[in-house]
Chains A and B, each alone.
Chain A
């Protein structure tokens, strides 16, 4: 039996709510989830009641049984949660949904993520308890408690090991903001960023300026997956899943910052498997969405996926190389919706949707002939994940 996801499952439709600044959603989180799923089904041309599975990640609070009841789904056959925090599960949830379809456990699975932080509190704040025990007891009393603070430690070491300069991080941020200026859905639409503004922006934690850090937003996003056979009868052009991987390297989860290979995005063992299953090489990737919790994670992800040698980051990471509107052999169009930095932080699922739009030729920053479209989800956490979508030309 051939063990692969390649070409067996396709994206039938995608849906998003409006995106809001954190705490600004007029709708409750569960209603946001419902709206995104209904919208994705409409986009797919699939009756909502035919959805028979749900896959999510990062402990999404919208329970699949409640969703199925609220949506009037005929039956529920798959209810899946990818373990782990941050956006590490975004592409994993796509892979899990695909595995359910291929194995016959379900026929029409929705991958979704919904966030209303006004309703449920923020990510980027420290704990408010008086006493703390466990892993966090070994970091929080020293003032190391937010995601930015957890990951700056890794990025600082990587930059030291490889002589990476601040401008390499800056290029990632500038590219996202430039793409967002063409995307009316982006929260940062109409708010361009230039070099001087980045340089003058305050430090959050070195080496992250304000513009190296993702937004925190309210909204919801959903992706409908069906078998490759079924998608041919549906209105959208096919967007096949070529591969998906999730996990991390040896003892990545060792506590109190004790992972033996520390200064990493956690993709070194996964990236070769991702390419092998998809049957592509880094050179074949036409457009990349890479999860930005912080720009330093994007930089390490791109290195570990083989686009750039670790010691060549200062030459590789220049804005022009990362822009969709520039053509050339050495281009790597990156985060073409504006991504988590400048479109919306929907825990990264917006990146998967943008990758699909590129295959469908519907991006606001369309890359010509985008046949191989890749997503990297949640660097520096564990598990992380990644997936590759392909057009009909890849079949």
Chain B
């Protein structure tokens, strides 16, 4: 057991060289979910962009948000397309819509039994999964069903 949801060896995430999503990745290291909010129209947006897509202001900052949401969609993956997952077996990927954040969504894994039934609309909370044993440590944001 590695303590990670997926077997190690997948490509490791890093901030883009232009720095656009760097606060997001640093936030996860610090156990904070930081996503973009426009300070002109106060709306949240994701994925990361240089300006607000609603009012075109470039006064867009990263703000923290509670990592809570609902399962918008999901998939149970069976066929591994990366060598690191050859021995993985089935795993669950969820698309989570964050609460009170203008409908923005994040991709993650649903912790627990990969064969569990998954119900769209279920409430989930974020779990920070730190990967410290690599050259450039990073943190993933995973999800757990509320009440579990």
Contact = CB atoms under 8 A, between A and B. Distances in A.
Interface in B53-91: 53, 72-79, 81-82, 85, 88, 91
Contact of B107 (A128, A139, A146, A203): A139
Contacts of A129: 11
Interface residues of A, number: 45
A343 B74 CA distance: 31
Contacts of A230: none
A153 B140 contact: no
Contact of B93 (A142, A160, A254): A142
B73 A204 contact: no
A330 interface: no
Given A144-B93, A257-B105, A149 B75 contact: yes
Given A126-B81, A141-B10, A144-B107, A262 B73 contact: yes
Interface residues of B, number: 41
Interface string B109-134: 10000000000100000000000000
B18 to A, nearest CB: 9
B104 interface: yes
Interface string A225-237: 0000000000000
B113 to A, nearest CB: 15
Contacts of B14: 131-133, 137
Interface in A211-258: 251, 254-258
A5 to B, nearest CB: 31
Interface in A113-143: 124-143
A202 interface: yes
A130 B12 contact: yes
B95 interface: yes
11 contacts: A126-B81, A132-B14, A137-B25, A141-B140, A143-B109, A148-B79, A153-B74, A153-B75, A205-B78, A257-B105, A258-B46
Given A131-B11, A141-B11, A143-B77, 11 more contacts: A131-B12, A132-B11, A137-B16, A143-B88, A144-B107, A148-B79, A153-B74, A154-B73, A156-B73, A205-B76, A255-B48
Interface of A: 124-146, 148-149, 152-154, 156-157, 160, 202-206, 251, 254-258, 260, 262-263
Interface of B: 6, 10-17, 21, 25, 46-48, 53, 72-79, 81-82, 85, 88, 91, 93, 95, 103-109, 120, 136, 138, 140
